[in-house]
Structure 1
Amino acid sequence: MLYFLSVRISVIAMGAAFLFFIFNHLKGWILLIAIALIPISITLAYNTPHFKKRFEPSHTENAVLEDVDYRKLHWEAVFMSIKHKLLLGRGTEGDRDDLHSIYNDKKLTAAYEENYNAHNQLLEIGLDFGILGMVIFLLYVWFLIKNAITHNNKLLLLIIIIFALYSITESIFVRHSGIILFSLLTSLLILKKEDEIV
Structure 2
Amino acid sequence: LFNKIGYALIFVFFGMVMAILMRKGPIIYLALSLLLLMLFYFKMKRALLAVGVLVVIIAFSIQYLPKYKGINRFEELMSIGNSNAKTSTNARLDIYLCAFEKIKEKPFLGYGAGAVQPYLDACYAEKKITFDDNTKTYNSHNQYLSIALTVGVLGLVLYLLSLYPIIRVYIRQKSFLGLSILVYFLLNFLSENIIEREHGVLLYAMLLCIFFYKKDELYNCP
- When the two structures are superposed, what TM-score results if normalisation uses the length of structure 2? 0.70
* Residues 112-167 of structure 1, C-alpha deviations (whole Å, 9 max, x = no match): 83411111110011111111210111111233222222332202211111101211
> Any conservation in 1 of the 2:120–2:139 contact (CA below 8 Å)?
no
Task: Note the C-alpha offset of 1:20.
Answer: 6.2
Q: In the alignment, what sits opposite 2:169?
A: 147
Query: SS where residue 182 of structure 2 aligns?
Result: helix
Structure 2 counterpart SS, 1:64: coil
Query: Which moved further from structure 2: 119-128 or 137-146?
Result: 137-146
CA drift at 1:183: 0.9
Task: For 1:17-166, list aligned pairs within 5 A.
Answer: 18-19=34-35, 34-47=50-63, 50-52=70-72, 56=76, 63-64=84-85, 68-110=89-131, 113-166=135-188
Work out whether residues 55 and 67 of structure 1, in 8 Å CA contact, stay in contact via their aligned partners in 2. no
Q: Is the 8 A contact 1:3 1:51 kept in 2?
A: no
Alpha carbons of 1:178 and 1:35: their partners in 2 closer, same or farther (altered >3 Å)? closer
1:12 is matched with which residue? 28
Q: CA offset at residue 23 of structure 1? A: 6.4
Aligned residues of 2:25 and 2:191 also touching (Cα < 8 A): yes
Over aligned residues, Cα RMSD in angstroms?
3.5
Identity of aligned residues (%): 26
1:2 aligns with 2:11: no
Structure 1 residue 81, shift from structure 2 partner: 1.4
- Which AA in structure 2 matches 1:124? S
For structure 1, list consecutive stretches of 5 or more residues without a partner in the other structure: none
Q: Deviations over 1:5-31 (max 9, x none)?
A: 32112212333455467667889xx98
1:178 aligned residue: 200
Q: Is 2:18–2:27's contact at 8 Å kept on the other side of the alignment?
A: yes
Letter in 1 for 2:172: T
Name structure 2 gaps, 5 residues minimum: 1-16
- TM value normalised by structure 1: 0.78
- Which residue of structure 2 aligns with residue 188 of structure 1? 210
Distance 2:174 2:47 in 1: 22
Comparing 152-161 with 142-151, greater Cα deviation is found at 142-151
Judged with a 3 Å threshold, the aligned counterparts in structure 2 of structure 1 residues 18 and 127 are, in CA distance, closer, same or farther, namely same
Amino acid at match of 1:113: T
